[in-house]
Amino acid sequence: MGPAHPLIGRGELMAALEALLQSGQSRFVLLSGPPGIGSSTLAEHLAARHDGPVLRATAAEWESDQPHSLLAQLFPDLPTSTPLLTAAELAGKLTPRTLLVVHDAQFGDLDSLRALASTQRHHPRTALQVVATCATGDRRAAAEVLDLLPRIATDAPSIPPLDAAQVSELAAVHGIALHPSMAERLRRHTLGRPRPVVQLLTELPRGTWAQFEPALPAPAVVQARVRESLAASTARARRFAEATAVLGTDAPVHKVMSLAGLDAEPLPLMDETTAAGLVELAPRGLTYVSPPEPMVRAAVLTELGPARRAELQRRAAALVDDPVRSLRLLVAASPVPDAEVAGRLDDLARERAAEGAWGTAATLLSDASRLTDDPLHQQALITRAVDALIGAGDVFRATALVPEVESIRETPLRDAVLGYLAMVRGRSAEAGNRLRRAWSIVNTDREPETAALICQRHVLDALCRYDGRDLVLWADRAVELAGADSPTAVEAAAIRGIGLAATGSVKQAQRHYEHLIASLRHGAQWQRATMARGWINLISDRIDDARVDFESAIPTAYLGGSARISLWARAWLARVQFLTGEWNEALATVREAVEMQERTGILVTGPLLRWTEAAVHALRGDFDEAEDVLLRSATGAGDYQIMRVPSLLARAHLAEARADSDGVLRALYPLTRPSPSASTDEPGHWPWQDVYAHALVLLGRLDEADAFLDPHEKLAAKRGHTSMRSRLAAARGRLHGASGDVDAASASFDEALELIGALPLRYDQARINFSYGQTLRRLRRRARADVVLSAARDGFAAMGARTYVERCDRELKAGGVHRVRPEPKPNALTPQEESVVRLVARGLSNKEVAAELYLSSKTVQYHLTRIYAKLGIRSRSELAARSSPVQDG
């Protein structure tokens, strides 16, 4: 007998159980869980891989009171007596490493289970191994057996339910492709139990899984069991169970009684229905009840029949407090169009969309379309539902409705929505064509709301093209058409500041967001504006403020936010973590975001995420991983600038980590071509200019490097952009060094370090120190090179940048001055930080420390902040107390 079903989502558990059974010791493994969790499949897979004899038995309820009935299946001629004597007989019959597989052990007879336990205890040399499965929650099982099984088990691992990805994998085994939203819907309905998942996949028509929001029934076996339980219940208990199913989770008992038309004491009804498995008490106590699980609720609703179910649903709509649930109950009770209910759904959808609850809005709009008999209005509702789904970040569910949208007549809204969908998928050309067409056919006088929406979609398109002027233009049009306080205008205004920054007006963008966010309190609009402000803060070197904004903009549940905005926030947060040297955290942020991206189908942010991931792997010397990231990024890359530029930068990172300057130039060459619209040269937006300049110098193309640097240096100086000035000064220093001008090179590098020292950009600090030290060594300033290269090495080692640590070691060894030191601990102080500690411990002020070390006061404060974090202290007095061993005498 082999496994009946594939083993999915159980790999780690399977490996652990195999290791247990291969230990050579007696084991009693109890695989318990709710019915359908897959314990029998797991047991059979273990049996199939076992390298010894396997015997099987299945306990049955009607045999549970027959002594030794379970053992009789395994050993028909076994003499039976007391547990000890039976165990002795059993031990004599067993061959080494025999595995006994016992299914449905909750129905096993006590004598058999006791004999198995006694065999293991008194005859350990037989190495008897038992794998028993037990379905929990079955009221037919004897209490003594349920008490005995965990006591005799040597191992009782937990069997987790399947997640949505595993449900999708299981569906694929059965030839059915489930998009993530549908897989998650099926997971919730079945509670992630493999058996009912398979039952529904095989029982329902395949077309079910391509629908927008199909009403999933119970599997046939659950339906039959519920039908029997209802038939065996009293009439009053049945009505109580039916009312509970209609009201759903956490229904107040008094409302259940009211809906059921019952006025007697509810406790006896609660006793009867819970015993029958039709109702369960909510965790909050006796005042709330729920259906035990979604499948049972679906089965009870099916047994009601259409007429009775609709009657209860209409009455329930008047009892529930939540307006969304109330209207959805009316939808479920409406077999024919109902203009009044459809209008209420539309109004509520607009209200929820204004709050940013787009997923709810989409469901309400879809419901409204089903209750509308006007074809044109129905088409408009479906189109708006798709738009809301995209806004919610549920591209897969939106895609399920696309055929319906594409089949309707062309309207400005239809083209705008399809353009929006193309945009989040990264399809620039299609999105642009759709949006231009929408704008060309809309009548702004008759349809100002639709026209404003089209403008707002043009805003998003301009952002993805990174065209700041176009972005501001369309945002202003949206505000003019919709009014400053409308949701569409607020959404456009939340992005407008990025356009201002992309055209060089960073300070104006900062003022814009301070004013806008002060008027917003929560929800997706606040989330969007906060994410955008973080973007501006990152661009303008306000790194700590950017971190706070991005972390605030990530949540989507309790804020009612958008998955799309959360993805942007995670992508930029990963960049902050990369620049500040928190690379493990950056990779964790990327992993979480990639999971969300795969779940939602939003592709436009993919390359931005992969940029950080590829950079970390490359700098750590994990070149195969970096190449794999680049391959995955290229597979999903569209032709938007927001996708194209990070992909190029990721390739440049990898080439630079490999000391492949030609590869750097090849990767970044497209960015040197002037673009009439994309704002890729503005300082702080895309840090590529210094990387390109360094590569030119290293290849000896000095005149090209000089000509390339000059306009970028002037623009960075004009904008007053600190980090870009620092990076370009370092590139200029390398150029001076290559020309043999020691003084000019030192001046440029010193300027670069002074500028970057005021910022928490640990990666850039280490990179500039490395370039400085490398340049000094080639100019034969070995002693100074040794100091600078050691600082670079410390910085790279703290981040785990193995590629550059090894490069620093080679430079230090070649310099012949300093012996390579072992890698410091992650929280070890750098030499400069140790100098700051010694001086502060002597009582010097920040200004005095700065003068002593030739630093700025701001740089000293930055070092103190890092020192406090590393040492876990908060004040100068604590630092002085802890630093007494290193104080100067």
DSSP secondary structure of 609-668 = HHHHHHHHHHHTT-HHHHHHHHHHHHHH--SSHHHHHHHHHHHHHHHHHTT-HHHHHHHH
pLDDT score, position 889: 32
- What is the spatial distance between Cα 603 and Cα 607, in angstroms, rounded to a whole number? 8
- What is the spatial distance between Cα 866 and Cα 795, in angstroms, rounded to a whole number? 13
pLDDT score, position 535: 94
Q: What is the DSSP letter of 155?
A: B
The phi and psi torsions of 9 (rounded to 5 degrees) equal 75, 20
* pLDDT exceeds 60 at position 888: no
Same fold, 220-335 and 829-889: yes
At 281 the three-state DSSP class reads strand
Q: In which region does residue 205 sit, left (phi positive, over 0), alpha (psi from -120 to 50) or beta (all else)?
A: beta
Report pLDDT digits (tens) over 532-571: 999 999 999 999 999 999 998 887 543 445 788 889 999 9
* pLDDT exceeds 90 at position 52: no
User: What CATH class has 687-755?
Assistant: mainly alpha
- What is the spatial distance between Cα 730 and Cα 745, in angstroms, rounded to a whole number? 8
- What is the spatial distance between Cα 437 and Cα 700, in angstroms, rounded to a whole number? 50
% of the chain residues with pLDDT over 90? 59
278 close to 226: Cβ distance less than 8 angstroms: yes
Report pLDDT digits (tens) over 226-246: 999 999 999 999 999 999 999
* pLDDT exceeds 90 at position 867: no
User: What CATH class has 829-889?
Assistant: mainly alpha
722 close to 702: Cβ distance less than 8 angstroms: no
Work out the number of other CB atoms within 10 angstroms of the CB of residue 370.
15
Rounded to the nearest integer, the mean pLDDT of the chain is 88
Q: Facing residues of 251 across strands?
A: 289
* pLDDT exceeds 60 at position 820: no
* pLDDT exceeds 80 at position 721: yes
pLDDT score, position 557: 47
pLDDT score, position 273: 95
Domain boundary assignment for the chain:
11-152, 164-210, 220-335, 687-755, 760-827, 829-889
> Rounded mean pLDDT of 859-873?
76
Domain 220-335 adopts which CATH fold?
Answer: Arc Repressor Mutant, subunit A (1.10.10)
> Rounded mean pLDDT of 198-217?
90
* pLDDT exceeds 90 at position 752: yes
Q: At what angle do helices 180-190 and 294-304 cross, to 10 degrees?
A: 80
Q: Where are the alpha helices (DSSP H) in 265-322?
A: 266-275, 294-304, 306-317
593 close to 567: Cβ distance less than 8 angstroms: yes
467 close to 676: Cβ distance less than 8 angstroms: no
120, 351, 482, 525 from 358: Cα distances, Å: 59, 10, 19, 12
Handedness of CA 399, 405, 410, 415 (dihedral sign): negative
298 close to 278: Cβ distance less than 8 angstroms: no
According to DSSP, the β-strands at 288-290 and 280-281 are antiparallel
Which of 388-397, 488-497, 557-566, 804-813 has the lowest average pLDDT? 557-566
Work out the number of other CB atoms within 10 angstroms of the CB of residue 271.
12
> Rounded mean pLDDT of 825-852?
75
Task: Sheet containing 288-290: give its strands across.
Answer: 251-252, 288-290, 280-281
11-152 homologous superfamily: P-loop containing nucleotide triphosphate hydrolases (3.40.50.300)
The phi and psi torsions of 650 (rounded to 5 degrees) equal -65, -40
- What is the spatial distance between Cα 118 and Cα 837, in angstroms, rounded to a whole number? 68
Which amino acid appears at position 360 of this protein? T
- Which has the closest alpha carbon to 100: 85, 78, 67? 78
Q: Facing residues of 889 across strands?
A: none
261 close to 312: Cβ distance less than 8 angstroms: no
228 close to 301: Cβ distance less than 8 angstroms: no
Q: Looking at the whole model, is its pTM more than 0.85?
A: no
Q: How far apart are the first and last CA of the chain?
A: 81
- Which has the closest alpha carbon to 492: 510, 465, 472, 509? 472
Report pLDDT digits (tens) over 631-653: 877 755 568 999 999 999 999 99
726 close to 704: Cβ distance less than 8 angstroms: no
